[in-house]
């Protein structure tokens, strides 16, 4: 409905009359085979989807006796499919992929939706429905699609008490209190939405959560959730607090090399698998931001990860070990610690360990260069961690489409094996031939009626799933698909609304953290500007640590004369940044401390450019509102008003950012704001 609960699965009637006519001619019967929970979902989804889109009930049948049969199933369960001569495309689809093919069977036009597994058929079903939702032709279909990445996951930062760390969409959707007896319809709808974009794993607990979820009463609840998710092809994972053997096991130590600790984990894992036979594995945050870990016992991250990996290997589980580590023992440049800790461990991790690396070395900034670990650990599968929830990008009030941010990282060249060694090729395993690959997004989902708070935040969940499946899809395509399914196929709407989305990330960078500035948000909550804060006990939590503004200039010198974090990149990657004169200006203040009167490519001084960026960004934020207002005729009242109000807040925030940063930095530059930017009032 209009409240956004249906996400991109609205299945509104096809508006284009000619297309509707052709769809109706080509879709007359649904033929499914095999009886299982997954195939029931396929059947229902086709019925509901087609009924909504075509406004007519499509019969279920068993034989092809007229044009327009939609035949969905695996070759194993469907003789129609196994006899259709599609073995070669099916082979290309692999274990999770699908084919959608137009075929003549018994002299009748049919469409086959197939995969080698029922999960593949399910993904194919959603893809087929998406073709109709986005008003594509379904003549001569010849689609073969296989995911480029094996683990396509959401990481929930949800605590057992239902608060969500960095969540801006209400409380956790997991109601531990009423589980396992009560299955909220939301769990089912969540699974369905994820399956529709190919997500196949979910970590339901926060990386900072305590160990309670590993206790027996909670494992019963976890089992209930796993049973809901399974038919949708989604495995459940849990965070494993490293000190669990002490917290809930009564041991005196959590030392990974201690036999009693190893035994405790072996037994705990055995217990988990009695509840969830296809349990995915653990996600671990260790020795980071105060979390316990192997270094507490002078052991390495590999010692910790391998201990868990050995215990879980007999059950085919995996360990996802996070590389987001920094500590105040390393006050010079937090940028460097993950690389320093992990690169020496390359080649020592067990085959069922993935190291999960954030897209950049600091922390999910509006814009940051790719993390230097990508390409630097060739013997270890590195998994991408993106943040879908907008911790540093305006949180719940800002319209920011994140596909361009994700793509920017994925397309960055690490040069680790020469030109073209992109981050995407590192994480999809193609560069170093790793079979185990993954991409995760920190979820932006809560119990708000529309799931994600801001109506446009749904697009970021959607983008994560689509890119995990195929990182070559463009931001433009993702925005277009999502808008068509979620709002309207009207070309006038699409033109303006997709521009709104595609420019949004650049706009927030401009009015909050331009020219490579970073981490100057309010401390701890990270909402709004606070570049002046310098009172945190940990130096690397102070914005001043990152911008280093003084009378001589602004920016963090990470070259050889500074922290030398640049040395962590390959020479060819380093080259684009290491010289202040030629550095890509997007990252200028990320890597250099630059004099206020430095000549920018625009001809302006750095100070004038900074003013230009902040003023232009804030002005563009204002124009977003005008664009949205022009789209009122195409959008239902409720969602129109929601977005309208939020854009107004965002504009106010943009002005707040601009004024706060310009006035604060001016205390160092001591230069005037160019007259053309001075606004009346």
Could you give the dihedral angle defined by the CA atoms of residues 556, 557, 559 and 564, in that order, rounded to the nearest 10 degrees?
-70
Local structure of 558: helix, strand or coil: coil
Asked if residue 9 lies in contact with residue 192, where contact means CB atoms within 8 angstroms, the answer is: yes
| CB 385 to ligand GCU: min, Å | 8
Residue 506 known to be catalytic = no
Q: Find the helix or strand (DSSP H, E) in which 99 lies.
A: strand 98-105
Residue 616 makes contact with ligand GCU by CB under 6 A: no
Residue 326 makes contact with ligand GCU by CB under 6 A: no
Asked if residue 596 lies in contact with residue 610, where contact means CB atoms within 8 angstroms, the answer is: no
Residue 208 makes contact with ligand GCU by CB under 6 A: yes
Residue 324 makes contact with ligand GCU by CB under 6 A: yes
| CB 208 to ligand GCU: min, Å | 5
- Choice from 105, 138, 165, 188 touching ligand GCU (CB under 6 A): 165
| CB 326 to ligand GCU: min, Å | 9
Q: Which is nearer to ligand GCU, 285 or 484 (CB)?
A: 285
Structure-token pair, residue 506: 């650049």
Distance CA 170, CA 448 (A): 5
Q: Which is nearer to ligand GCU, 208 or 659 (CB)?
A: 208
In the chain, what is the straight-line distance between the N-terminal and C-terminal CA atoms, in Å? Answer: 42
Which residues are registered as beta bridge partners of 632?
Answer: none
Site string for ligand GCU, 487-526 (x = CB under 6 A): ----------------------------------------
| CB 207 to ligand GCU: min, Å | 5
Give the count of alpha carbons within 13 A of 673, CB side only: 18
| CB 71 to ligand GCU: min, Å | 45
| CB 170 to ligand GCU: min, Å | 17
Q: What is the 3-state secondary structure (H, E, C) of 225-283?
A: HHHHHHHHCCEEEEECCCCHHHHCCCCCCCCCCCHHHHHHHHHHHHHHHHHCCCCCEEE
Q: Which is nearer to ligand GCU, 9 or 521 (CB)?
A: 521
Distance CA 395, CA 588 (A): 25
In the numeric block, the tokens 């925005």 are attached to 479
| CB 293 to ligand GCU: min, Å | 12
Catalytic residue among 341, 363, 413, 578: 363
Residue 391 known to be catalytic = yes
Distance CA 338, CA 330 (A): 11
Residue 386 makes contact with ligand GCU by CB under 6 A: no
Which of the residues 174 through 193 are near ligand GCU (CB under 6 A)?
Answer: none
Asked if residue 168 lies in contact with residue 208, where contact means CB atoms within 8 angstroms, the answer is: no
CB atoms within 10 A of CB 347: 10
Q: Which is nearer to ligand GCU, 391 or 428 (CB)?
A: 391
| CB 538 to ligand GCU: min, Å | 11
Site string for ligand GCU, 251-290 (x = CB under 6 A): ----------------------------------x---x-
Catalytic residue among 25, 40, 220, 289: 289
Q: Helix 475-486 vs helix 458-469: angle between axes, to the nearest 10 degrees?
A: 130
| CB 564 to ligand GCU: min, Å | 24
- Choice from 45, 363, 480, 540 touching ligand GCU (CB under 6 A): 363
Indicate the DSSP class of residue 162: S
Residue 207 makes contact with ligand GCU by CB under 6 A: yes
Site string for ligand GCU, 116-155 (x = CB under 6 A): ----------------------------------------
Asked if residue 586 lies in contact with residue 516, where contact means CB atoms within 8 angstroms, the answer is: yes
Residue 476 known to be catalytic = no
Catalytic residue among 391, 480, 481, 540: 391
Structure-token pair, residue 188: 């089912």
Q: Which is nearer to ligand GCU, 196 or 395 (CB)?
A: 395
User: Is the C-alpha dihedral spanning 549, 528, 498, 614 positive or negative?
Assistant: negative
Q: Going by C-beta distance under 8 Å and a sequence separation of 6 or more, which residues neighbour residue 657?
A: 511, 512, 528, 529, 614, 617, 618
Asked if residue 594 lies in contact with residue 554, where contact means CB atoms within 8 angstroms, the answer is: yes
- Choice from 166, 268, 301, 371 touching ligand GCU (CB under 6 A): 166
Size of the site for ligand GCU (CB under 6 A): 9
- Look at phi and psi of residue 349 and say left if phi exceeds 0, alpha if psi is from -120 to 50, else beta: beta
Site string for ligand GCU, 556-595 (x = CB under 6 A): ----------------------------------------
Distance CA 94, CA 113 (A): 14
Q: Which is nearer to ligand GCU, 249 or 360 (CB)?
A: 360
**Which residue ranges make up the site for ligand GCU (CB under 6 A)?**
165-166, 207-208, 285, 289, 324, 363, 391
Q: Looking at the annotation, which residues are catalytic?
A: 289, 363, 391
């Amino acid at each position: 409905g209009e409240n956004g609960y249906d996400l991109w699965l609205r299945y509104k009637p096809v508006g284009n009359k000619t297309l509707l006519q052709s769809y109706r001619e080509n879709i007359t019967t649904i033929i499914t085979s095999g009886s299982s929970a997954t195939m029931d979902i396929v059947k229902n989804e086709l019925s509901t989807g087609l009924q909504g889109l075509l406004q007519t009930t499509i019969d279920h049948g068993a034989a092809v006796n007229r044009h327009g049969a939609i035949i969905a199933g695996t070759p194993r369960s469907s003789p129609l499919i196994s006899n259709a001569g599609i073995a070669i495309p099916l082979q290309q689809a692999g274990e999770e992929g699908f084919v959608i093919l137009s075929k003549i069977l018994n002299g009748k036009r049919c469409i086959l939706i197939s995969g080698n597994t029922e999960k593949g058929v399910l993904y194919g079903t959603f893809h087929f429905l998406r073709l109709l939702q986005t008003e594509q032709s379904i003549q001569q279909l010849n689609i073969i699609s296989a995911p480029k990445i094996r683990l396509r996951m959401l990481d929930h930062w949800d605590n057992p008490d239902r608060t969500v760390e960095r969540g801006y969409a209400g409380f956790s959707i997991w109601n531990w209190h009423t589980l396992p007896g009560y299955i909220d319809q939301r769990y089912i709808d969540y699974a369905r939405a994820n399956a529709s974009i190919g997500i196949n794993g979910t970590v339901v607990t926060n990386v900072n959560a305590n160990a309670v979820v590993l206790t027996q009463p909670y494992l019963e609840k976890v089992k209930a959730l796993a049973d809901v998710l399974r038919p949708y092809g989604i495995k459940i994972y849990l965070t494993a607090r490293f000190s669990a053997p002490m917290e809930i096991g009564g041991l005196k130590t959590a030392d990974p090399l201690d036999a009693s600790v190893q035994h405790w984990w072996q037994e705990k894992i055995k217990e988990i698998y009695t509840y969830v036979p296809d349990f995915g594995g653990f996600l671990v945050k260790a020795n980071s931001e105060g979390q316990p870990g192997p270094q507490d016992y002078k052991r390495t991250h590999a010692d910790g990860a391998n201990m868990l990996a050995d215990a879980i290997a007999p059950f085919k589980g995996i360990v996802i070990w996070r590389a987001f580590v920094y500590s105040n023992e390393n006050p010079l440049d937090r940028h460097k610690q993950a690389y320093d800790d992990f690169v020496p461990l390359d080649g020592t991790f067990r085959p069922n360990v993935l190291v999960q690396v954030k897209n950049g070395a600091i922390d999910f900034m509006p814009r940051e260069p790719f993390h230097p670990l990508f390409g630097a650990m060739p013997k270890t599968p590195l998994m991408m961690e993106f943040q879908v929830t907008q911790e540093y990008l305006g949180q719940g009030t800002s319209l920011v489409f994140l596909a361009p941010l994700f793509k920017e990282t994925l397309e960055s060249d690490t040069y680790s094996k020469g030109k073209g060694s992109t981050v995407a090729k590192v994480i999809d395993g193609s560069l170093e031939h790793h079979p185990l690959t993954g991409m995760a997004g920190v979820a932006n989902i809560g119990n708000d009626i529309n799931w994600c708070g801001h109506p446009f935040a749904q697009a970021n969940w959607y983008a994560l799933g689509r890119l995990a499946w195929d990182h070559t899809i463009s931001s433009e395509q993702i925005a277009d698909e999502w808008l068509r399914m979620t709002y309207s196929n009207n070309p006038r709407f699409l033109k303006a609304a997709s521009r709104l989305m595609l420019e949004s990330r650049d706009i927030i960078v401009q009015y909050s953290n331009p020219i490579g500035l970073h981490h100057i948000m309010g401390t701890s909550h990270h909402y709004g500007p606070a570049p002046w804060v310098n009172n945190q006990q940990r130096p690397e939590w102070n914005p001043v640590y990152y911008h280093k503004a003084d009378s001589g200039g602004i920016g963090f010198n990470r070259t050889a004369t500074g922290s030398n974090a640049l040395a962590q990149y390959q020479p060819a990657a380093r080259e684009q940044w290491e010289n202040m004169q030629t550095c890509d200006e997007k990252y200028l203040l990320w890597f250099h401390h630059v004099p206020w009167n430095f000549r920018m490519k625009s001809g302006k001084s750095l100070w004038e450019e900074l003013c230009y960026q902040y003023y232009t960004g804030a002005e563009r934020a204002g124009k977003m509102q005008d664009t949205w207002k022009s789209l009122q005729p195409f959008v239902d009242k409720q969602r129109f008003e929601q977005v309208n109000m939020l854009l107004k807040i965002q504009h106010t925030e943009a002005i707040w950012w601009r004024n706060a940063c310009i006035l604060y930095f001016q205390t160092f530059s001591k230069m005037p704001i160019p007259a053309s930017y001075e606004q009346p009032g």
